[in-house]
Structure 1
Amino acid sequence: MTARIAVITPASENRLAHLHRQRRFLREVSTPEHEVVRIEAWLDESEPPAFDGAVHVHLPPGRDGMRVGAARNAAAEVALAGGADLLVFLDVDCLPGPDLIDRYVAASLTHPDGLLCGPVTYLESVQRPSSPDELGAATRPHPVRPNPASGALETAGFADYDLFWSLSFAVTPATWGRLGGFDERYEGYGAEDTDLGRRARSLGIPLHWVGGAHAYHQWHPAGAPPWRHLDDILRNGALFAERWGEWPMGGWIEEFVAAGAVEEYAGGYRRTTV
């Protein structure tokens, strides 16, 4: 029986080149064993550009920025209404490896109650693969996260749920229903995926790292720490702390504090007032 796989990607105008390459790679790695349906959630104020190869959902920015979590939720709702057997969330910056779909499908059959995450390699600025066949030589998964052998799974311990990220993950419809989706109060940059990981842990939903489900993050300029997202990080960090009792993105906040841009205040953090 052919499985219906929904690949959900939030996208915007400033990532169109990455989106075009992802679309092409996804077509090339898709196989007849699976029916792959693209659902693209457009995050800009403007309408999405015409593209016949995907179902489009339009979520304009909210008061505080792009509504990435809400966009993923809306796209998932469309996917479920269309009869999807598996939801694969793939960030617009990420290219699917040749086995990403197959490995997620296989993992969902043996662990249907889990939150499934594949390894992600960050490509360098000079690495611009032209086909999925070139990805294998570039594979260099993020060193902090597990990288099981292809076909193997590694289950996260209690302390490892904060390693969950939304660049590439998959869930069955039943597990997505238990999770309840992303908290839509998060707008702009940061914390909505760490929040989802914490929710999974609180609900007893296992987090599995899926060997062979490789994704490849295309290079783009980024600050370290991300100064242009400072206000988002403070706002979303406070929301996270209100729920979970501690602040996320601690490394970046420490750098902001060290630079004199942020100060401790009332058990949390704020922009420096002097």
Structure 2
Amino acid sequence: MRTAVISLAAGRHGHLLMQQDGLARSARAPERYVIVSMADPAIEELTASRQPVADVIRLPLTDGRLPLAAARNAGAARALAAGVDLLVFLDVDCIPGPNLLDGYASVAQDGVLLCGTVAFLPPSPHEAYALEGLAGLAPPHPARPSPPDGEVLRGGDPHLFWSLSFALTPSTWNRIGGFCETYTGYGGEDTDFASTAVVHGVDLWWVGGAPAYHQYHPTHNPPVQHVDDILRNGALYKQRWGAWPMEGWLHAFGALGLVEYRPDSDTWCRRCTAWSSST
């Protein structure tokens, strides 16, 4: 099975190089490693002359925002043109475990969306993590299923899908139709993707033995730096699917006084200005 690993990058250069090193040490080398550079011209030179060879695509920002959905579609299109049998998407912060590609390839079939476990690593005391010791640094994230090696949990809740690490066949990708490119900036596009998969009869499987390790970086909880993106993309999702996504974050923003909910119109607002999908 010919595999392609697709990653999106804008900054996080050290994390990207750790991902590339992890793939180089993988039990199965990917036939294609596609990196979609979102307004970051340094990535091409950064990853050159290293293994696996990176095929870098450049995309500009969309109205100043990261085109995450469009970038995944562009990466998939490049990989499919190369004739691969399995698309594996990895967040730029994720280092693949040595058996991640084997784990996905061993259970891949048409009509299924595969998700492996992701462990969130603590800060590294050195400049980079030691690849051989990643498994002992943190357990898989407790908010997602984590079957043991060699086991698969079928019939997964699509609301738990995340784009940090997932895989699917070209047939399944075409069946879903890729990501909705109307989403720009942070949040919502992966929830939309999972909802679209359900409509097209695609099942979600949680795969044991396909681990990834998310490298530490400072963040906000809730992600207040993305509140405008979340409101805009949440309104788009509401228009398409009839319900608000990311409600935990919206309620947390509300508790901080950043947004408010208007029950009469089922609308989340910022500074008393209602958001709509056309905003």
Give the TM-score taking structure 1 as reference length: 0.92
Structure 2 residue aligned with 1:178, among 175, 180, 183?
175
CA distance in 1, matches of 2:13, 2:78: 22
Question: How far off is 1:48 after superposition?
Answer: 3.6
Q: Would you say the 8 A contact 2:44–2:56 is kept in 1?
A: no
1:163-185: per-residue Cα shift (whole Å, max 9, x none)? 00000000000000001001101
Question: How far off is 1:69 after superposition?
Answer: 1.0
CA distance in 1, matches of 2:158, 2:272: 34
Q: Would you say the 8 A contact 1:30–1:36 is kept in 2?
A: no
Q: Name the residue aligned to 2:244.
A: 247
Listed as ranges, the gaps of 5+ residues in structure 2 are: 274-279
Matches within 5 A, 1:104-253: 104-108=104-108, 111-126=109-124, 130-157=129-156, 160-253=157-250
Q: Would you say the 8 A contact 2:119–2:212 is kept in 1?
A: yes
CA distance in 2, matches of 1:117, 1:35: 18
Equivalenced residues, count: 265
Structure 1 residue aligned with 2:33, among 15, 31, 38?
38
2:69 is the counterpart of 1:69: yes
Question: How far off is 1:35 after superposition?
Answer: 4.4
Question: How far off is 1:249 after superposition?
Answer: 0.8
CA RMSD of aligned residues (A): 1.7
Residue type at the aligned position of 1:134: G
Give the TM-score taking structure 2 as reference length: 0.90
1:128-155: per-residue Cα shift (whole Å, max 9, x none)? 6644321221241111211111111101
Moved over 6 A (4+): none
CA distance in 1, matches of 2:30, 2:67: 28
Relative to 1, partners in 2 of residues 1:96 and 1:127: Cα closer, same or farther, differing over 3 Å?
farther
The DSSP-based 3-state class of the residue aligned with 2:44 is coil
CA distance in 2, matches of 1:247, 1:127: 40
Question: How far off is 1:126 after superposition?
Answer: 3.5
Q: Name the residue aligned to 2:9.
A: 11
1:47-69: per-residue Cα shift (whole Å, max 9, x none)? 64323321111111101500011
Residue type at the aligned position of 1:214: P
Q: Which moved more, 1:189-198 or 1:45-54?
A: 45-54
CA distance in 1, matches of 2:171, 2:125: 38
Q: Would you say the 8 A contact 1:4–1:85 is kept in 2?
A: yes
CA distance in 1, matches of 2:82, 2:192: 27
